[in-house]
């Protein structure tokens, strides 16, 4: 089963708190954080790893466990599976304005139509970010990143309200499960995609400090 945790990295913007957690991450993660100039970026990099370490300890996962990290704005996200032979990808994105030119460039025609059919710009923006985190999560699950054309796979929603892959690339014929979440404050969208046979229905929001 895939578990999904999120955390607010705001406490890590305090230098003393950041340093305390920085000291706990592996050397390679420190190097990655050190190369970042922006304080928020540093906090996200360290915070994402600390979140993974918390999950690993709480769920008693092995070092070989499959996991994926994401961050946006003040949030970090981790999705991990208790199976070793699965694909798992996750994405968190702070909500913002409707970016229709981006959708028209990267999304499938029917996905763009769903966005346009929103009753107003707020609802259209909501649809955009729902699609965006699903698209990103699939790219990350396959480990192809932006090398995978977003128009080669398409999402839709079943009668149960759960998203599914309506179309997927020929090179990825596996059965994928999809889930989407909204953070408690309502300011960000989250999605998880995996070849595992189950995704936890609840998103766990935890404190880093």
Mean local confidence (pLDDT), 106-123: 98
Q: What's the token pair of residue 67? A: 């996991």
Question: What global pTM score does this model have?
Answer: 0.95
CB 166 within 8 A of CB 156: yes
For residues 162 and 111, what is the distance between their CA atoms, to the nearest angstrom? 15
> How many other CB atoms are there within 10 angstroms of residue 96's CB atom?
13
* Environment class of 119 (CB within 10 Å of its CB; exposed 0-12, middle 13-18, buried 19+): exposed
Confidence (pLDDT) at 209: 75
Helix (H), strand (E), coil (C) string for 66-77: CEEEEEECCEEE
Q: Regarding the domain delimited by 2-206, which CATH topology (the fold level of the hierarchy) does it fall under?
A: Ribosomal Protein L22; Chain A (3.90.470)
Please report which confidence band the pLDDT of residue 63 belongs to, taking 50, 70 and 90 as the band edges: confident
pLDDT tens string 159-168:
999 999 999 9
CB 134 within 8 A of CB 90: no
pLDDT tens string 134-146:
999 999 999 998 8
**For residue 84, pLDDT beyond 90:** no
Domain boundaries, the chain: 2-206
């Amino acid at each position: 089963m895939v578990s999904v945790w999120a955390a607010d990295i705001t406490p890590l913007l305090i230098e003393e708190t950041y340093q305390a957690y920085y000291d706990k991450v592996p050397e390679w993660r420190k190097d990655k954080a050190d190369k970042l100039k922006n304080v928020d970026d540093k906090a996200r990099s360290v915070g994402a790893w600390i979140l993974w370490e918390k999950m690993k300890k709480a769920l008693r996962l092995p070092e070989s466990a499959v996991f994926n990290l994401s961050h946006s704005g003040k949030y970090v996200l981790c999705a991990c599976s208790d199976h070793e032979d699965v694909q798992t990808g996750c994405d968190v994105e702070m909500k913002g304005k409707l970016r229709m030119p981006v959708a028209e460039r990267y999304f499938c025609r029917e996905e763009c139509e769903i966005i346009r059919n929103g009753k107003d710009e707020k609802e259209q923006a909501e649809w955009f970010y729902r699609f965006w985190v699903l698209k990103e999560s699939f790219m990350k699950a396959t480990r192809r990143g932006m090398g995978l054309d977003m128009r080669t796979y398409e999402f839709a929603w079943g009668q149960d309200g759960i998203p599914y892959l309506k179309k997927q690339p020929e090179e990825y014929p596996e059965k994928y499960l999809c889930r989407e979440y909204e953070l408690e404050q309502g300011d960000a969208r989250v999605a998880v995609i995996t070849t595992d046979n189950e995704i936890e229905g609840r998103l766990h929001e935890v404190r880093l400090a």
